[in-house]
Amino acid sequence: MSKFDFQLQKNARNISASAAAGGPDKTSGSFPSQEEIRANNVQTLIDDAMALVVAGDYPGARELVDVGLVSYPDSYILHRLSGDIFLRQNNMNEALKGYMNAMALNPLDTRTLNSIGNWLTIMRNYHDAKGFYQAAFNTNPTDACAAYNWVHCSMKDGDWSFFDKLTQILRLGDTHPMEVQPFALLGITDNPALHKIRVEARSKILMRTVKENNRFSRTSVKGRRIRLGFFSDDFREHATMLLMGRFFDLVDRERFEVYIYDYANSEDTATIREELKKSADVYHNVRDISDHDLAELARKEGIDVAIDMKTFTKGGRLAVFAERAAPVQVAFLGYPGTSGLPTMDYFLGDEITIPPSQRQHFSEKILNMPNCYQVNDNTRKMPTEIPTRAEFGLPEDAFVFCSLNNPNKITPAEFDVWMKLLHDVPDSVIWLFAPSETLRENLLREAAARGIGPERVVFAGQVTMAMHQARMSRADLFLDAFNCNAHTTASEAVFAGLPIVTKAGKQFAARVAASVVSAIGCPDLVTETVEEYYELAYKLATDREALNEVKQRLKDNLWTTPLYDSEQYVRDFENLMEKAILRYEEGSKPKHLYLK
């Protein structure tokens, strides 16, 4: 019996008992009115439906809400919840209908405004999404969900007007931890202690709804192959797969079995899915099963190490790992920060991204790769025909600074330095990735406020992954973002022979590029302060001999240093996984592990 059914029966019993006694119960006051019963029933139904949503049972939640709407068609919350469930099921038209119905009933409901913003965000209409989030925040300045979504879309729009309210927004997470968007938080502040506090608070709430299960259908790994389970919805045209390349093909099948649990939209992954089926020992598309059923499947299949490649990135299913899919669980590659989840045993990093002084900001123990934590594919090819600078809209003779990061990584702090470099290096331009017209207008406005005209700023649009890789070779120097570095883009840049000047911050996301350039033998491209960052970028822009030396070193080191040694990377990865599961079988708790 669901809580909803129980409440209906309880209300009926209360009314019957009161009527049989000739009136209201004298100890509890008058029996509930029809309006009170109705309100209780609606709220109970909503609670039951939300519990099913949290558990990943969208069909069950859908059925419950549909039944509720027949009895309570004027409940704007049910209409909004209907839209939210359709949105999770990728039914965009029905989701929008639900939100429009909710808006008609209560146009000032901030959660509905947020949901419409979410709908627009998925449609990549960040500008209009920002307007709905901002309206929700203006209506209720304590709405942390609206605030963080407003921040995220503003960053994608190059609109930094929220920065004067940043302190207020960061504090909202104190009382509303579930509303904090962890990935948005990484982009606006380099504060690993705050990040851990926020995600641990989220994880505590999650653990209240999910029961950890330590019953596994497995035997000791001694004398058999270790079963590695990889969980992601990025098994598609995505940066993760660009990095992974032939990773699964390189896994030693005498020591390991590869299980892939793919929750990508199957319609978008046909070609990659067929390749994965060939590369994996066992492949499952699990998009349409609940988080509980997915965890159960992995346990029944005897997975030894469950590897979460998503965490807080879009499409992540942390409830699977809260319940436990395997005796050892590892966060890997997808999200650049701690999960805060007590059931996530390890985080895969290296001593540059997570030096010993920063381990305190991880709830997990660290699996330390001996070189760079980031996997790369040494079969990657540079296109043979690369468009000229002129074809990209770049002046042939200028010095070209670039930052081809996602625009939501750029803050006023690094933009100030970039504009100073343009002032101080007269024959230079900056090349920025800006796929929308609104973003371009905002960036030009920010440049003008710093005394830089539009002729000094060139924009790069959305292109194929191959062309994105190719165009990097037409720039002279890559300028990294501070709070959240170039990650995949950093390894793409050095592959193209493009030096990247980076500043190593505190949090993992702010230290990735430092790890990348160090692994290709160019640690001198890492700076520690804003002043050092400017000075190095200025030197390389004005000293052609120094710049050419770095470029030649990148070229010489590409195949002789660890960054693109895919085979060695996989061996190191395998050895760490083996250490972790053997430690579990010894009855020992997780600890920081090394291969040295």
Q: One digit per residue, pLDDT tens: the chain, 596 residues?
A: 444 333 333 333 333 333 333 343 434 444 445 555 455 688 888 998 988 887 778 999 999 999 899 989 999 999 999 999 999 998 999 999 999 999 999 999 999 999 999 999 999 999 999 999 999 999 999 999 999 999 999 999 999 999 999 999 999 999 988 889 899 999 999 999 999 999 999 999 899 989 999 999 899 999 999 999 999 999 988 889 889 999 999 999 999 999 999 998 766 667 788 888 999 999 999 998 989 999 999 999 999 999 999 999 988 999 999 999 999 999 999 999 999 999 999 999 999 999 999 999 999 999 999 999 999 999 998 888 899 999 999 999 999 999 999 999 999 999 999 999 999 999 999 999 999 999 999 999 999 999 999 999 999 999 988 899 899 999 999 999 999 999 999 999 999 999 999 999 999 999 999 999 999 999 999 999 999 999 999 999 999 999 999 999 999 999 999 999 999 999 999 999 999 999 999 999 999 999 97
The dihedral through the CA atoms of 103, 183, 59, 264 has a sign that is positive
- What pLDDT, on the 0 to 100 scale, is given for residue 41? 83
Q: What is the distance between the alpha carbons of residues 230 and 65, in angstroms, rounded to a whole number? A: 33
Q: Reduced to 3 states, what is the DSSP secondary structure of residue 405? A: coil
- Give every CB contact of residue 362 below 8 A, 6+ residues apart in sequence: 196, 338, 347, 354
The whole-number pLDDT of residue 27 equals 40
How far apart CA 581 and CA 593 sit, in angstroms, is 12
Domains, the chain, ordered by start: 1-17+32-107 (1.25.40.10), 226-378+568-585 (3.40.50.11380), 390-564 (3.40.50.2000)
d(CA 490, CA 405): 9
Per-residue confidence (pLDDT) for residue 38, from 0 to 100 = 56
β-partners of residue 479 are 501
For residue 191 the two structure tokens come to 């504060």
Contact 148, 165 (CB under 8 A): no
Q: How far apart are CA 124 and CA 153, in angstroms?
A: 10
Structure confidence at residue 484 (pLDDT): 98
Residues 6+ apart with CB under 8 A from 117: 129, 130, 132, 133, 136, 146, 149, 153
Residue 178 confidence (pLDDT): 86
**Residue 177: C-alpha distances to residues 167, 169, 171, 206 (Å):** 15, 12, 10, 11
- For residues 135 and 148, what is the distance between their CA atoms, to the nearest angstrom? 13
The whole-number pLDDT of residue 487 equals 97
Question: Whose CA is closest to 350, among 190, 175, 519, 590?
Answer: 519
Burial degree of 434 (CB within 10 A; 0-12, 13-18, 19+): buried
As given in the structure block, the two tokens for residue 532 are 């050092």
Quote the pLDDT of residue 19. Answer: 33
CB atoms within 10 A of CB 167: 9
Inter-residue contact 55 to 322 (CB < 8 Å): no
Task: Kindly list the strands in the beta sheet with 328-331, ordered across the sheet, starting from the edge strand earlier in the chain.
Answer: 282-285, 256-262, 226-232, 305-308, 328-331, 346-350, 365-369
End-to-end, the C-alpha distance of the chain in Å comes to: 56
| pLDDT of res. 382 | 83
Pairing of strands 346-350, 365-369: parallel
Instruction: Give, in order, the Cα–Cα distances in Å from 210 to each of 197, 206, 312, 322.
Output: 20, 6, 17, 6
Q: Are 372 and 562 in contact (CB under 8 A)?
A: yes
DSSP states along 239-259: HHHHHHTTHHHHS-TTTEEEE
Can you tell me the distance from the alpha carbon of 333 to that of 490, in angstroms, rounded to the nearest whole number?
14
- Main-chain dihedrals φ then ψ at residue 349, nearest 5 degrees: -145, -155
Own/partner contacts of 500-504, CB < 8 Å, gap of 24 or more, are 500/525, 501/477, 501/525, 501/527, 501/533, 501/536, 501/537, 501/540, 502/526, 502/527, 502/533, 503/527, 503/528, 503/529, 503/530, 503/532, 503/533, 504/352, 504/528
How far is the C-alpha of 198 from the C-alpha of 181, rounded, in Å? Answer: 9
Q: Supply angle C-alpha 113, 116, 121, rounded to 5.
A: 125
Rg (CA), the chain: 26
CB atoms under 10 Å from CB of 281, counted, come to 15
